[in-house]
Structure 1
Amino acid sequence: MKSNIPESKIVEGHPRFSLLSAMKDDLINRAGALRSICSEIPPLLREAIDVVIDTPRTGRRDYEDLEKTEKTYIGTRVEILVRSYFRLPKGKLDLLLLGQDADVKFTTKNNWMIPREAVGKPCLLLAADEAEAKCYFGLFCADEEYLTAGANQDKKRQVSAEGFGHILWVFCKHPLQPNFWRTIAEASAEAVAVQRTGNDRVVTLFREVQGIPIAREVVEATARQKDFMRRIRADNGRGTRDRLAKEGILLLSGTYDATAIAALGLPPTGKSEFVSHAPDAAQFKVVPRRSIPDSFVLK
């Protein structure tokens, strides 16, 4: 996204102030609070992108690796998720807000593409900046004077440099959780992706990525199985926990193994997170017995 976003000119006296501020208030009321929007919309954007990149299946880690049709689908998915989140009806455009047709536009670049049918209409502008781990959500009326003169082959235009000052921000430069697979070594992501079964992928994930809490959602996406939690447990010696134990690696749950995690000096692990670790002999002595599988082999 642009690094030099100007201060919003949407204040009292602006011709679009009444409409955009009323729309913002309505969205806040629907969500319950502004803080709810700020805490819940960024994960929604993260999920919309990551489910299409699908690193455990494809080995891809970057939005730019996607096909054009996949990028279009992400924009459609964001539209659907935003409409559902705010419980808004579909209109002639993407949704109806305060009885007015509005378009939902999403980008991972530094601008939005505004179609001809949205010119003069309110728009919900959302963006995810992967490089900076920031996200944006603003309200904008796509008036002619706020759009670029030039258009692409589809007759879509962008928000002009002047137009950026006429966005009423719901949030701007808000933290966006990075794609998990971009935070680990590329070789580790590839090692997971080449595995043929869900169990093998999860075992490889926790073997390759130790000492870092991994969210349940990442494990579920990696396993791609209906009962993935059964696999992450011992599962009569066939599950992830027992297989790792035979290699001298503990698989610990933020819910059930908080004491062991603290004793080993591992990072705080949430209740819906897991962390793996291969303890040495000295560390092994401080691990509560309940956290050690019978099959554990000290390396």
Structure 2
Amino acid sequence: MSSKKILLPPGSPCASDRNNIVHVAEDPHIDSDLQAVYNWLISQPIEKLLTTAVNDAIEYVLDGARTWRFDLNSIDVDSDERASLGTKLQYRVLAALGLKKESPLDTKILGIPVELKGTVRTNWMIPREGQCEICLLIQVNSKNDRYRAFLMRTHRIWLNDGGNQDQKRTIMADAIRSYALPLLPWTPLPSNPLKLLKPAEKDIVFNSKNGIKRRLTALFGFLPEVVIPRIAIETVGANAKDVARRARQAKPDVYSEHGLIVLMGTWPSQRQLAAKYGFDISGEAWVALKPETLGADFEIAKTMALEFGQDTKPVS
């Protein structure tokens, strides 16, 4: 039975598997390059940028508009696809932060090489070239719709000894707690409202024997006063042409069958009315509101909803 690896403190000698050059593991608070990269990152609107990057990477892997998938933890998503999120995330983080792919690692910040590592597991796999280097670490917990981020120089002495066949090593849990600089604590990700559907409701919404308009009418009826982003609409109508048109045509049916007024973010007037009652439908999102919520604006909203119920598009 092997004993637990002892966490060595800053000031201890360290050598990476890559070159075996002995150096001293610096305290992260006096590591000038680490601090420079950290200060640059926190000077950015980091939560907004990383949230967008993580969400885009998840949507790319799910590819809902072609697969009907909307949950990364679904049995319909195989383990290899789930693991690929880290690679997809890398390029989206670069784009979000305005960085370019640049050797010797993944990018450079202020001329300092930085490795980007994302994981959907409980730890990160650090490659040989990333040992003793500065790493931006992002952990995604899609089950709870959240993620967090750290910046750490992943010294070899702070990595576990057991590696995989590619000689990648995980980070010691105690080292993360002690020597990783937190960039973001657990931070909410946009939750796909399709996850809110009960099994019987999913059977109706994703029943290909029903027409798309019929299924979208059911979707709005099942999720009143829940903001539904465009990606969810496209997922329900996967592989169909002009799904938004079908959703527009469903608006009168949603009113006649469920008594709900569907507003869509494509039109400024509807977007502003939704915002008045606390619903953000920017980015071409949709929401089905109850008459009692709209109060005195009910008739105005009803006119808006039914007026654009046919195959019409907003005037730019």
TM-score by length of 1: 0.74
**Change in 2 beyond 3 A, CA 1:76/1:200:** farther
Give the equivalent residue in structure 2 for 1:188.
Answer: 201
**Paired residue total:** 272
Corresponding residue to 1:202 among 204, 216, 221: 216
Give the equivalent residue in structure 2 for 1:26.
Answer: 40
Measured after TM superposition, the shift of residue 253 of structure 1 is 3.2
Structure 1, unpaired ranges of 5+: 1-8, 234-238
Cα deviation code 1:85-138 (max 9, x no counterpart): 122222243223333433211112221111222112221100122344432111
Residues 59, 190 of structure 1: 8 Å contact kept: no
* Letter paired with 2:188: P
Give the equivalent residue in structure 2 for 1:102.
Answer: 114
- Does the alignment pair 1:230 with 2:245? yes
Counterparts of 2:272 and 2:179, CA distance in 1: 52
Point out the more displaced range, 182-191 or 164-173: 182-191
Measured after TM superposition, the shift of residue 154 of structure 1 is 2.9
Counterparts of 1:193 and 1:59, CA distance in 2: 10
Cα deviation code 1:131-179 (max 9, x no counterpart): 4443211111121111111112332211102320211122122233334
Question: Identity over aligned residues, as a percent?
Answer: 24
Q: Over aligned residue pairs, what C-alpha RMSD do you find?
A: 3.5
Counterparts of 1:262 and 1:127, CA distance in 2: 32
Residues 46, 179 of structure 1: 8 Å contact kept: no
Measured after TM superposition, the shift of residue 261 of structure 1 is 6.0
* Letter paired with 2:94: R
- Does the alignment pair 1:251 with 2:262? yes
**Change in 2 beyond 3 A, CA 1:77/1:110:** same
Residues 38, 151 of structure 2: 8 Å contact kept: yes
Corresponding residue to 1:80 among 62, 86, 91: 91
Residues 28, 34 of structure 2: 8 Å contact kept: no
Corresponding residue to 1:139 among 127, 145, 151: 151
Measured after TM superposition, the shift of residue 82 of structure 1 is 0.6
Residues 126, 136 of structure 1: 8 Å contact kept: yes
**Partner-residue secondary structure (3-state), 1:162:** helix
Residues 192, 232 of structure 2: 8 Å contact kept: no
For 1:13-92, list aligned pairs within 5 A.
14=28, 17-28=31-42, 33-34=43-44, 36-54=45-63, 57-59=67-69, 61-63=71-73, 65=75, 66-90=77-101, 91-92=103-104
Residues 260, 287 of structure 1: 8 Å contact kept: no
Measured after TM superposition, the shift of residue 55 of structure 1 is 5.2
**Partner-residue secondary structure (3-state), 1:213:** coil
Counterparts of 1:71 and 1:202, CA distance in 2: 28
**Change in 2 beyond 3 A, CA 1:161/1:17:** same
Counterparts of 1:191 and 1:18, CA distance in 2: 58
Counterparts of 1:52 and 1:14, CA distance in 2: 34
Measured after TM superposition, the shift of residue 52 of structure 1 is 2.2
* Letter paired with 2:190: Q
**Change in 2 beyond 3 A, CA 1:118/1:99:** same
Counterparts of 1:144 and 1:285, CA distance in 2: 63
Residues 212, 237 of structure 2: 8 Å contact kept: yes
Cα deviation code 1:19-42 (max 9, x no counterpart): 1111123334xxxx44x2112311
Residues 59, 189 of structure 1: 8 Å contact kept: no
Counterparts of 1:226 and 1:96, CA distance in 2: 42
Counterparts of 1:26 and 1:290, CA distance in 2: 50
* Letter paired with 2:219: L
Residues 20, 168 of structure 1: 8 Å contact kept: no
* Letter paired with 2:246: R
Counterparts of 1:25 and 1:13, CA distance in 2: 16
**Change in 2 beyond 3 A, CA 1:180/1:43:** farther
